[in-house]
Amino acid sequence: MNLLLNPKAYNQAWPDEKTAKLMEKTIAFFETKGLKNLKEDDQALRWYDDFIRFLKDNQVFSTLLTPAGYGAPDSRYDLSRVCHFSELLGFYGNAHQYAFQVSILGLGPVWMGTSEKIKRKAAQLLQEGGIFAFGLSEKEHGADLYSNEMKLCPQQDGTYKADGSKYYIGNSNLAALVSVQGKQTDTDEYVFFAVSSQHHHYKLVKKIPTSGARNGFVGEFELVDYPITEEDILSRGKQAWDSALSTVNIGKFQLGFLNTGICTHSFYEAINHASNRIIYGKPVTALPHIKKFFVETYLRITAMKLYALRSLDYFRSSSDNDRRYLLFNPIQKAKVTTEGVKVMEMLLDIMTAKGYEQDTYTEMAIRDIGMPARLEGTAHVNLSLVIKFLENYFSNHVNYPTIPKRNDPADDAYIFKQYSGGLAKVKFPDYRLAYEGVDLPNVVVLKSQADMLKAFMEKATPGPDQRKNIDYMLAIGEMFSIVVYAQLILENCKIYAIEPDLTDSIFGLLVQDFSHFALTQITKTGNTDEQEKQLWAMIMKPVVNAAREMKIWDEHVKIMNGAYQMNQ
């Protein structure tokens, strides 16, 4: 089964015609615009008015981002189509998906807040084609919420005035509504409130030039005595704090789908180029190392999508009693995005000079692909978070009902009821359940490595000083992430009936990656003798099968030559 998105042979099944038409119209918009115009807009840093008009005329954001009860009778906030749309936009470039993702972030505190007036207003603004912004990060502190300097000052008449600036804010040029986090000066408690980018007390300071998402808008804005009423307050105190973290859970979750889309488009461009470029009388694809690169990139993109879709199932099925998404989401944000960087490096090794030519999609992709992985320290921040779940993942197991494939047309209301804290209470079933009934060679090896990491944490547990040292724990976090990554991939290989050859080849790459990080951990200073002994035992070779690799090349990769090429 081929999971890679192909807009020229779009076959995604949707339960309703409205969603299907929206996706098809989006494909038609980009294919009609063409690669030449897409690249010219990027190179000229030209704001995409045509895209914004398209979104308005076709009620795109209104359809995708309005929860049940606030828009049309059939409105719903359905993560299955929200995430798919992120992948589809990513397929055509980071900048367009950026406008979508930032709108998701901007609306998060609204739907999580208590102001019904602002919720109704946001729904109306969505119907009018509005885009949205998330006023969280600041120039001197980034996304460090503790250091927030935006102030909300109470006035004698019961209103407030907001003063302060926010930095690196997407859509800050035209956002119909900006969710701004600050602190209330009289109580020092966190607060979210809503402002308009078109208000005369809202000052757009500048556009911040970025190497990625160039024709999107990343900016700095300042509020100067901006008048705020009680109805403009979205949340206070713990709810405001939770809204910030929970909004990031939803918005940054999209990054994995974005990078999957970017990699998929570049894969098509690379296979088309290499298959038809003749060197020494043969196509580039006749070179053994090029075939190997193509097989590996195909497998890694497939793995990225398998994990992303399975973590989506858990996110849609979350509740106060099942918060496993709090582990799966940061791995999505860190692991899937960095896998995209790895894939693009290999694709560039295939395309070489062609990949740098200004008329290719890949030239834009290699510049943009690292942005999601590093935005606000995504990879390192999320790996540090992942480590907090390590003990409960490997022990203290509980039983849960099996989570099915979730592509049903449901309103995912719980994602707006998330709360922070309680990470130590998040429990998991035994990860080894995913391996039942699977006896593929590399799956067996990876399971052994996972079991050894579990034993390492029980018998050679990092001490308090080691745990405080982020540098020491990062490689352990990487190994742990691979174990979780493998679990969800294996679950989805069963759900999507992925061929055994593909499954085992994917796991061969995971074995290789796990061994790499085990060796990295050995090179860290401060390991005890017992820790080093166990780490050496984790380094294992994947089971290599050259015939299987050639079969994947012949049956899955080579045939993709000409399967997709964007209209010029």
For 140-192, give the DSSP string: TTBT-GGG---EEEE-TTS-EEEEEEEEEEETTTT-SEEEEEEEETTT--EEE
Helix (H), strand (E) at residue 170: strand 160-170
d(CA 533, CA 453): 12
Q: What is the pLDDT of residue 32?
A: 98
Instruction: Taking residues 360-378, report their average pLDDT.
Output: 84
Tokens 């990699």, located at residue = 263
DSSP state of 157: T
Q: Superfamily assignment of 252-397+425-558 in CATH?
A: Butyryl-CoA Dehydrogenase, subunit A, domain 3 (1.20.140.10)
Task: Give the model confidence (pLDDT) of 339-353 as tens digits.
Answer: 999 999 999 999 999
The residues spanned by each domain of the chain are: 7-127, 132-237, 252-397+425-558
| pTM (2 d.p.) | 0.96
Span 215-251, pLDDT tens digits: 999 999 999 999 999 999 999 999 999 999 999 999 9
Give CA–CA dist 515/546, Å, rounded: 20
CA nearest 315: which of 253, 255, 373? Answer: 253
Is 99 within 8 Å of 90 (Cβ atoms)?
Answer: no
| Radius of gyration over every alpha carbon of the chain, rounded to an integer in angstroms | 24
Give the C-alpha separation, 367 to 63, whole Å. Answer: 31
94-151 tens-digit pLDDT: 999 999 999 999 999 999 999 999 999 999 999 999 999 999 999 988 777 778 899 9
* pLDDT tens, residue by residue, 47-91: 999 999 999 999 999 999 999 999 999 999 999 999 999 999 999
Which residues, 6+ apart, have CB-to-CB distance to 297 below 8 Å?
263, 267, 270, 343, 346, 347
Q: What is the pLDDT of residues 508-531, one digit of tens each?
A: 999 999 999 999 999 988 899 999
Instruction: Tell me how many degrees the CA angle 562-567-568 measures, rounded to the nearest 5.
Output: 115
For residue 379, the model assigns a pLDDT of 64
Q: What is the DSSP letter of 138?
A: B
Q: What is the DSSP letter of 417?
A: S
Regarding the domain delimited by 7-127, which CATH topology (the fold level of the hierarchy) does it fall under? Answer: Butyryl-Coa Dehydrogenase, subunit A; domain 1 (1.10.540)
Give 506 or 141, the one with higher predicted confidence.
506
Residue 101 neighbours by CB under 8 Å, 6+ apart: 86, 170, 251, 254, 255, 258
The CA distances from residue 522 to 50, 156, 474, 530, 538, in Å, are 53, 62, 12, 11, 11
Apex 287 CA angle, 282 and 288, nearest 5: 150
- Each residue's pLDDT tens digit, 161-178: 999 999 999 999 999 999
Query: Are 297 and 260 within 8 A, CB to CB?
Result: no
Residue 393: half-sphere exposure toward Cβ, Cα within 13 Å: 26
Q: What are phi and psi of 139, to 5 degrees?
A: -60, -45
Which pLDDT does position 442 carry in this prediction?
Answer: 98
Residue 375 has pLDDT above 80, yes or no: no
Q: Which H helix or E strand runs over 135? A: strand 132-135
Return the SS3 of 131: coil
Strand 132-135 with 177-184, pairing: parallel
Q: Top-level CATH class of 132-237?
A: mainly beta
Instruction: Check: CB of residue 118 under 8 Å from CB of residue 194.
Output: yes
* Partners of 455 in beta bridges: none
Q: Is the pLDDT confidence value at 377 over 60?
A: no
Average pLDDT along the chain: 95
Provide the 8-state DSSP code for 45. Answer: T
- Cα angle 310, 311, 313 (rounded to 5 degrees) comes to 65
Give φ, ψ of 132 to 5 degrees. Answer: -135, 165
Residue 371 pLDDT grade (very low, low, confident, very high; cuts 50, 70, 90): confident
Please check the confidence at residue 39 and state whether its pLDDT lies above 80. yes
In this structure, the chain runs to a length of: 568
Q: What is the pLDDT of residue 378?
A: 60
Q: Check the CA dihedral 275-278-282-287 and report its sign.
A: negative
Using an 8 Å Cβ cutoff, are 568 and 34 in contact?
A: yes
CB atoms within 10 A of CB 224: 13
In angstroms, the CA 158 to CA 228 distance is 10
3-state secondary structure of 438: coil
Phi, psi of 544 (to 5 degrees): -90, 135
**What is the C-alpha separation between 191 and 129, in angstroms, rounded?**
27
Provide the pLDDT for residue 246.
Answer: 95
What pLDDT sits at residue 384? 79
What is the per-residue pLDDT across 300-317, written as a single tens digit (0 to 9) for each? 999 999 999 999 999 999
What's the confidence (pLDDT) of residue 147? Answer: 81
Question: Does the pLDDT of residue 376 top 60, yes or no?
Answer: no
The residue assigned the tokens 């990949």 is 355
226 vs 161: CA distance, rounded Å = 5
| pLDDT (tens digit per residue) in 453-503 | 999 999 999 999 998 888 899 899 999 999 999 999 999 999 999 999 999
HSE (CB half, 13 Å, CA atoms) of 509?
Answer: 24
Q: Identify whether the C-beta of residue 191 lies closer than 8 Å to the C-beta of residue 197.
A: no
